[in-house]
Structure 1
Amino acid sequence: MRRWRRYAGLGLCACWLPLAIRLLLLGRGYVEPSLALINGPAIGRDGDSATGARVDRRLAQSTPAFVGAYMAERQPANVSYCRWQYELPESLVYLDYQLIGSPEAGPTGGPNGVLPFAIRGSQNAADLPPVTLCSHATADQVYSIVELAKRWEGPLSLSVFVPGHDLGLAVRLLDLACHCEPAMSKVSVHFIFPRNEPPSLEAPPSAADLASPDRSCGAADLQRKTANSTDRHRLGLLYPINVARNVARSLAPTQRVLVSDIELLPSEHLASQFAAMLKGRTPKRAIAFVLPVFEIEARLAPPANKKQLLVALRTGNAVYFHRFLCPHCQRFPGIETRWILRPDPGKVRPLIITRREYPNNRWEPIFIGTKHDPFYAEDMTWEGRQDKMTQMFEMCLMNYRLIILDGAFLVHTPGIKRKPFVDGQQPRVDERQRAHERRNARIYQRITRRLLKRYPVNNRCKS
């Protein structure tokens, strides 16, 4: 009997030995092919028994997260924390020379006009971490800026698409934010519009209740109600998302920039901890610091740090961004074998060095870079999808090093995106959507052919 137990024990040890060796290697910095591990101890997938076995109470018991929810009980102040220009918000007056073109089109060219610095950010930008969060929005999305301003410690540069009467909605929402959130003093706002659809300050009917004297600072309900009543939606205008990105980046007050979407909330203290990591080093070319992106169930509050995020991941309440829509888009190298296995370091630090090469050639990382990085292709629209791929292809040809950061991340606040199903089947993509996608695909092919003539050949930079 004892001999049988001894043999059984030896067999069990043999079964577990490979796993033990792998975990040991992980803890000592074992590096997979094409990845370079920088530092950091490893932990098991379940973490410690205290945190891995239960959901963080602050996350589980939180009320549903929505834009500006923390201001729902707050009333607008008598003063504005913003510095409006062009006689806004009461009226709009500007001279022709003040209207500029988009960065790719040149000072006065292109189909879109740009009115820079409709709101000019704080003059005390030198006291802030030297990294600007550059974002973009349509008029009905603009109130999301309050969440970013509250959490991001550095300056913010926001481009807003305001064709026709959409300007009236955007200005009223921004003015409410400026009377409600002191952190709006860090925000600069730039207006973008088609030259054949100039902006009008007259408010659409759906925004009328913004003028109510008893209006609270919570405006999430208004964003929902106005989504389908904007001129952009009514006239079927395409959203020039890359024009907006390039404008926000080019007008940022710092050399280091994070170009991100308005629905992506950064982890707390990201800007200051990133600045502390670099210790004042001068930005270098062909290096980008990648921020992992996740999404969390809409009923839960967005995690503020990696410890909270790991709890949400282990309990199935969070996944990496676009996990169910586009798995390759944000599934960054080392996510499961490195990033998730490591505990919250309590600071921002580099973890993995990689490149945007095959088999990660469809990856669309969001990163802290510089104003000298390649532009986003302005001809590509949001409706046509894959709008960041030309920039990533060019960065690959330029041999960019991508440094994936630990202790820092972005989280999609509206909830986890899933493919819609009707009667158990996915609805068909309508022909207009397919046309937009074909158009973006043609532009992508044209740009990649041009880039292949400009840079040395790298067969791993597959398009």
Structure 2
Amino acid sequence: MRRIRIGWLMLVVIAIIQLCVLVLESNKLQTVSRKKLKNRRILGGHTVHSSGTYLIQRFFKSEGFPMNSMNPEDITLATHCSVDRLHHLIDIIDAWDGPMSISIYAPGDDAAFAEDAIDGFRLCWPKLRRTTTFHLLYPNDIAMSANMTRVGSFAYYSCKDITRKIYQRSGRMTADSEARGYFSDISRYPHNILRNLAMDGVLTKFALSIDIDLVPNKNLRINFLTFVKNTSTQRKRIYGDSSDSSRKTVYILPAFEVKESSGSRLITKKDILRLVETSEARILLEETCVQCHRSTNYEAWSSTPEDGEVNLGISHEVAFTRGWEPYFISHRDIPRYDENMVRYGYDRLSQICELNARKYTFSVLRSSYLARRSFTTTRNIPKKAKLRSDDISKFHKLFQQRLRQSGKLAETAVTFC
């Protein structure tokens, strides 16, 4: 019995010692954490998002625009990303010479990298100084607020080194982001808040809202502006007025995915059709989400000649179909994205459903398109995307439930989504 008592006593003593060690370690970590937070240089001058969850820096480090550099009748490319995807902007810069509005999700130390990258972009691509605005979004959480302590890491770098640094960030996460799980779950990335933030920065009449890994063909902007000008002139000649018929029309852009090994420059419609013929390009998400873009009617688009005098730049009109989520050019006052839609696949789909309910016209442009440099396969899609690809019926049933909860659409409209 005495041995048993001694054994139990030893176990109690060991447990007490372990508890003391854990308390001491916890206090040590808290002290280190407090010191880290105390030493941070937190970015000020923000506004609070309506949800209270995020802080916003609009027109971050804006240098303004010369009065003669901004045409109010122009089109602005609006896009969004986290800092590990900023390298995609380099491809867009090569293809797009018009205004851009870019929102960046930058929690914690990512904010410092974002500022350095913005300075680097403006140094190496000077045209961005007069055409592009940047907007930051980060959590309203002291541990994840914009930490600018490491700003200046690009100082004295050449443009070659700046470009290399931006590409090196691809696929990486800061220790803060990884520890807090901000990128481990795709729903943590506030897609629609970022899309709306970029759209709020649009100062021109028209906007093209796309994901940052999509690149417009080189002639897209000039083709569209010419089309709009000709349409306005013709309306005035035929109807005696120049009323804005574009306000309730969205101009659909066929979207493709191109093999990374293809080095072809995408300038004209013939360029992408040539790649489709050789199987180096195909409809975007053709393997993982057939309904996402098929309704654009690529067959009709492919058989329509490039822009000419006939039909003033429109290939054909299409009707809304369930699951369709095209990219398009629109008037800047288009209904915004539903920020409560955070589940994968619901974000963009909810907006196109609202446009259909509001009787928008869907017109496919005959010569313009978008392209992504990689094939999406069932092997490389996110886990959250598998629900849509594996059970589309269940996906739409859950989506309709979420639409009803949002209360933005009438029941008759929800049944078509």
What TM-score do you get using the length of structure 1 for normalisation?
0.67
The one of 440, 446, 451 aligned to 2:408 = 451
Counterpart selection for 2:136 from 191, 197, 203? 191
Q: Deviations over 1:90-137 (max 9, x none)?
A: x87543xx5242xxx3xxx43111110014353344348611110001
Distance 1:402 1:430, change over 3 A: closer
> Which residue does 2:163 correspond to in 1?
219
Partner of 2:250: 288
1:299 equivalenced with 2:261 (yes/no): yes
State how far apart, in whole Å, the 1-side matches of 2:387 and 2:147 are: 28
- Counterpart Cα distance in 1 of 2:382 and 2:119: 39
1:128-167 per-residue CA deviation (whole Å, 9 max, x = no partner) reads: 8611110001011123223323322321000000011111
CA RMSD of aligned residues (A): 3.4
Q: What letter matches 1:110 in structure 2?
A: G
Q: 1:446 to 1:334 in 2, by over 3 A?
A: closer
Question: 2:313 matched to 1:352?
Answer: no
Larger Rg: 2
Q: Which deviates more from structure 2 when the two are superposed, residues 290-299 or residues 119-128? A: 119-128
Aligned to 1:200: 147
One-letter code of the match for 1:122?
Answer: F
**Equivalent position of 1:329 in the other structure:** 292
Superposed displacement of residue 389, structure 1: 1.2
Residue in structure 1 matched with residue 369 of structure 2 by the alignment: 409
| Separation of aligned partners in 1, 2:382 and 2:108 | 32
SS of aligned partner of 1:193: strand
Aligned equivalent of 2:65:
122
Aligned AA (1:242): N
Q: Distance in 2 between matches of 1:131 and 1:321?
A: 23
Partner of 1:143: 87
Map Cα deviations across residues 388-441 of structure 1 (whole Å, 9 max, x no partner).
11111111111111001111001113x1111218xxxx997799999xx99998
Q: Equivalent residue for 1:377?
A: 338
| Match runs of 1:155-166 below 5 Å | 155-166=99-110
Residues 289, 388 of structure 2: 8 Å contact kept? no
CA distance in 2: counterparts of 1:417 and 1:431, whole angstroms = 13
* 1:370 positional shift: 1.9
- Which amino acid is 2:79 matched to? S
Cα deviation code 1:373-395 (max 9, x no counterpart): 221111233x6233111111111
Structure 2, unaligned stretches of length 5 or more? 1-40, 183-187, 233-241
Distance 1:122 1:241 in 2: 28
> 2:133 corresponds to which letter in structure 1?
S
Deviations 1:18-64 (A, max 9, x none): xxxxxxxxxxxxxxxxxxxxxxxxxxxxxxxxxxxxxxxxxxxxxxx
> How many angstroms apart in 2 are the aligned matches of 1:145 and 1:199?
22
SS in 1 for 2:118: helix
2:209 paired with 1:259? yes
Q: Residue in 1 aligned with 2:378?
A: 419
In the alignment, the residues of structure 2 paired with residue 218 and residue 311 of structure 1 have an alpha-carbon distance, to the nearest angstrom, of 34
Q: What secondary structure does 2:279 align onto?
A: coil
Distance 1:452 1:160, change over 3 A: closer
What CA distance in whole angstroms lies between the structure 2 residues aligned with 1:172 and 1:316? 39
* CA distance in 1 between partners of 2:369 and 2:386 (Å): 36
Whether contact under 8 Å (2:338, 2:350) holds in the other structure is yes
Query: Which residue identity does 2:149 align to in structure 1?
Result: E
Change in Cα spacing, 1:407 to 1:284, as seen in structure 2 (3 Å) is: closer
2:281 is aligned to 318
Inter-CA distance 224–346: structure 2 relative to 1 (3 Å threshold): farther
Is the contact made by 1:240 and 1:380 (CA closer than 8 Å) also made in structure 2? no
SS in 1 for 2:368: coil
Q: Give the one of 171, 175, 184 matched to 2:119.
A: 175
- 1:166 touches 1:199 (CA, 8 Å); kept in 2? yes
Which of 49, 54, 70 is the matching residue for 1:112?
54
CA contact (8 A) 2:346 2:399 kept: no
Residue deviations 1:316-368 (CA, integer Å, cap 9, x gap):
000011111111112233212x1122343379811111221xxx211001111
CA distance in 2, matches of 1:182, 1:284: 32
Unaligned runs of 5+ in 1: 1-90
Q: Is the 8 A contact 1:143 1:173 kept in 2?
A: no
Q: Which amino acid aligns with 1:417?
A: T
Question: Any conservation in 1 of the 2:120–2:162 contact (CA below 8 Å)?
Answer: no
> Following the alignment from structure 1 to structure 2, what is the Cα–Cα distance between the partners of residues 448 and 115?
32
SS at match of 1:275: helix
Which residue does 1:366 correspond to in 2?
327
Alignment of 1:52-131 (within 5 A): 94-95=44-45, 98-101=46-49, 105=50, 109-120=51-62, 122-123=65-66, 124-127=68-71, 130-131=74-75
TM-score of the superposed pair, with normalisation by structure 2: 0.74
CA contact (8 A) 2:72 2:205 kept: no
